[in-house]
A and B are shown apart, each in its own frame.
Chain A
Amino acid sequence: EDQVTQSPEALRLQEGESSSLNCSYTVSGLRGLFWYRQDPGKGPEFLFTLYSAGEEKEKERLKATLTKKESFLHITAPKPEDSATYLCAVQSTGANSKLTFGKGITLSVRP
């Protein structure tokens, strides 16, 4: 069974203080790893898809990286508007595989 563990559960940063969010996963074979952002009272918003180890993607202050066992979401010089819950999900290569989400990391950035 696919498993996704995100850590830490919550993270508080000062504005400008860079950090990384971790997503560890266990799958028989990885078809894709996804990062989403969720603001309170809203549905998740797609950020990135990573497909193979070594792949990296960037968007503004966010950079996602992937290894064979985990993914990191690096946040460089965060701003208060980056405060949200960040969700990681994986899909395995098995037939009829489903998206399995982690429980999320709640990021709070103080001005």
Chain B
Amino acid sequence: KAGVTQTPRYLIKTRGQQVTLSCSPISGHRSVSWYQQTPGQGLQFLFEYFSETQRNKGNFPGRFSGRQFSNSRSEMNVSTLELGDSALYLCASSLQGPYNEQFFGPGTRLTVL
């Protein structure tokens, strides 16, 4: 069965711009979680969506937002980009939530100049 897909794989933006990342979960998975991965901070939880509702949110500023559609596909938006937002953004899907086995996508590498 198809895995988690993320688009685009690479993005280069400049400070102040906004960006939207997309994630398509494994068919049948209703939970989608987003993570930011950087060399300094490691993997940090951004938020989780389940059946179009945000169930949990990490400690990130309001510039980071997301949504989930009825087909479980999810998008993440970052507004007013800062240099420190450069990171690998990972999406993970699971049947019930991140406390079960999660399947990660390959990530979107965002570079902010």
Give chain A's interface residues, CB within 8 Å of chain B: 31-32, 36, 41-46, 49, 87, 89, 91, 96, 98-104
Contact = CB atoms under 8 A, between A and B. Distances in A.
B8 to A, nearest CB: 15
Interface string B75-113: 000000000000000101000001111111111000000
Nearest to B44: A101
B56 interface: yes
B45 interface: yes
29 contacts: A36-B104, A42-B106, A43-B4, A43-B92, A43-B104, A43-B105, A44-B43, A44-B90, A44-B102, A45-B104, A46-B101, A46-B102, A46-B103, A49-B100, A49-B101, A87-B42, A87-B43, A91-B98, A91-B99, A96-B55, A98-B45, A99-B33, A99-B98, A99-B99, A101-B43, A101-B45, A102-B42, A104-B42, A104-B43
A4 to B, nearest CB: 9
A31 B43 contact: no
B58 interface: yes
B58 A98 contact: yes
B106 A43 contact: yes
Nearest to A91: B99
Interface string B33-57: 1010000011111000000000110
B99 A43 contact: no
Contacts of A42: 104, 106-107
Contacts of B33: 99
Contacts of B4: 43
Contacts of A36: 104
B90 A43 contact: yes
B91 to A, nearest CB: 8
